Amino acid sequence: MSFCQPRFLLNSVCFQQLSWVVYSSLLQTRPSLRCPAFAAARLSSTSSKPVSLKDRLAEIIPKEIENVCINSHLRTGLHNSFDVGEGHSCSTRQKIFWSRSGGPTVWVSNTQLPAIFGFKFNVEVCAVFPLLFGMAPFSMLVRVVSRRSTLCSSLL
């Protein structure tokens, strides 16, 4: 299944974290995505937040864990592939994207996270924009991953 098919976007963790800018650009480039379910899902994700702290964390933390897993797979996955949830996979270089500021401005590879996560990496910084602009669907994923990695980046 393609990254740009509605089912993938609706079901994946990536969709839940799409910014309005990314969503708008998708609509411009992919008119076929203009479906009511897509818009309804986006609105529901921003219009209501739970009152309970635990319920709110239950929304946030699994996504952060997913980000760590995606990043881990980017680094350690075999044959340059990694899972992005829902049984999909994507080919890429074995590098990790990371950002403290929310943008895809930092490569972090071989970074060592706390042992509780069980992942081992080292820090390395370089520009990623040529790669991002060269691979549209993947750059979307990277934007999402890096934008929402607050928990992980706070641990670095």
The alpha-helical segments, DSSP class H, found in the chain are 6-11, 13-16, 20-29, 36-47, 53-76, 129-134, 136-147, 150-155
Asked if 115 is part of the footprint of other proteins (rule: CB under 8 A), the reply reads no
Site string for other proteins, 13-52 (x = CB under 8 A): ------------------------------------x-xx
* Contact assessment for residue 86 and residue 80, using Cβ atoms and an 8 Å cutoff: no
Asked if 57 is part of the footprint of other proteins (rule: CB under 8 A), the reply reads yes
Among the listed residues 98, 135, 72, the one whose alpha carbon sits nearest the alpha carbon of residue 82? 72
Query: What is the smallest separation between the CB atom of 102 and other proteins, expressed in angstroms?
Result: 10
- Point out which residues bind other proteins (CB under 8 A): 49, 51-54, 56-58, 60-62, 65, 116, 118, 150, 154
